[in-house]
Amino acid sequence: MPGWDGSRKGIVAPGRMYGRALLLNFRKNSNMYHVSALLILSDDAPQGLLSSLQTAYPGACKMALRVSSTPFVTGRPFTLLRDGNVHSSGAVGLAILKATPSLRTTFDGLHPLSPVMKVTAAEGNLIHTLNDGNPSQLLLDAIRSTGLYGENAKEDNFVLGVSTSPEVLHQRAFRITSGDPKRGTLALETDATITEGLFVQFFKSSTPSDVAQPDRTPSISFMTTSDAAGTRAQDGHAGSVDVESVRIIEGAFVAGSENGWTVAQADEEAWACSVPGASTSVAW
């Protein structure tokens, strides 16, 4: 498959030069192909790249894993490898040609704390009212009703599920980063715009004790892992072989990072997720 450098080994975006000029050579060498998906490993800022790719390939789905931080491993903030070269920033990836994949997101380890509510006032990543009420107070009431106190009631343990219909369970999920019962506003860890009329639900996020195995093959999956150690893969999965700490799953590629992932379906605004246990995958 064609690369931005004219090769057929993948795509590479050195440094932070994310822009249309970077795509010209890639488009020149790929215009004879149908690009159905773009799979990317990036530093912590893939938004500009994904925006450019969305413009160049609006019909393709895009998945970007924000790779794990490596300052104590390699001395670099991030470590990206391609053709024997090491990059501290930017992105590497590949284009899937011809075959049209299906994209899916899942959220493991979420436990509901509240009923479904409607966003009645919001701006950017800030929610001002839910059901015309104080969202921070509603979250506090939900936490108290479940008996969560102390360490279990830290804000980063709580998530807001978002969907376009009250019958659909959280199509997206975002960490709640701050809230003030007096002011009422809740802030979410997202660049996506939360709009009035969306339906939301409070959840407590518990890191899954097991890494969920892909139920679709062939597939490529990116997942958000916990900062804490101890997450392990499930035992006894058909088609998998343990060799010390290595697990082989036939027909599947799974990669995880504590920094999360960003995804955009065809003709859709890109959005990022850093909720532990959340995953996105493409399958054929």
Task: Encode pLDDT of 159-187 as tens digits.
Answer: 999 999 998 878 999 999 988 777 889 99
What integer pLDDT is reported at residue 183 of this predicted model? 82
What integer pLDDT is reported at residue 92 of this predicted model? 92
pLDDT at 245 over 70: no
Does any domain span residue 5?
no
Strands 232-233 and 210-211: parallel
Percent of the chain exceeding pLDDT 90 equals: 42
Mean pLDDT of 116-135: 96
On whether both 124 and 176 belong to a single domain, the answer is yes
What integer pLDDT is reported at residue 160 of this predicted model? 96
Does any domain span residue 79?
yes
Question: If you search the block for the tokens 């088609």, which residue do you land on?
Answer: 239
On whether both 132 and 64 belong to a single domain, the answer is no
Does any domain span residue 65?
yes
What burial class does residue 179 get, using C-beta atoms within 10 Å of its C-beta: 0-12 exposed, 13-18 middle, 19+ buried?
buried
On whether both 36 and 99 belong to a single domain, the answer is yes
pLDDT at 206 over 60: yes
On whether both 138 and 200 belong to a single domain, the answer is yes
Distance between CA atoms of residues 264 and 270, nearest Å: 4
Last-in-domain residue among 205, 236, 264: 205
Range of the domain at 151: 110-205
Question: If you search the block for the tokens 């958000």, which residue do you land on?
Answer: 224
What integer pLDDT is reported at residue 16 of this predicted model? 42
What integer pLDDT is reported at residue 239 of this predicted model? 47
Instruction: Domain count for the chain, please give it.
Output: 2
Give the bridge partners for 110, in sequence order. Answer: 205
The 3-state DSSP composition of the chain as helix, strand, coil percent (nearest 5) reads 15, 40, 45
Last-in-domain residue among 178, 205, 232: 205
Q: Which helix (H) or strand (E) holds 143?
A: helix 135-145
pLDDT at 136 over 80: yes
What integer pLDDT is reported at residue 221 of this predicted model? 93
Mean pLDDT of 69-78: 91
The pTM for the full model equals: 0.80
Q: What is the mean pLDDT of the chain?
A: 80
Write out pLDDT tens, residues 13-67: 544 444 443 444 455 555 546 888 999 999 999 988 988 888 888 889 999 999 9
Write out pLDDT tens, residues 223-237: 998 875 444 444 444
Does any domain span residue 251?
yes
On whether both 183 and 242 belong to a single domain, the answer is no
Distances in whole angstroms, Cα of residue 43 to Cα of each of 15, 89, 155, 267, 273: 9, 5, 26, 23, 14
Tokens at residue 272, please?
Answer: 């990022």
DSSP string over 2-65: --TTSSSS-EEEETT--SHHHHHHHHHHHTTS-EEEEEEEE-S--HHHHHHHHHH-TTSEEEEE
On whether both 117 and 199 belong to a single domain, the answer is yes
What integer pLDDT is reported at residue 9 of this predicted model? 39
Higher pLDDT among residues 20 and 272, named by residue: 272
Residues 6+ apart with CB under 8 A from 117: 130, 131, 138, 199, 200, 201
CATH number at residue 168: 2.40.30
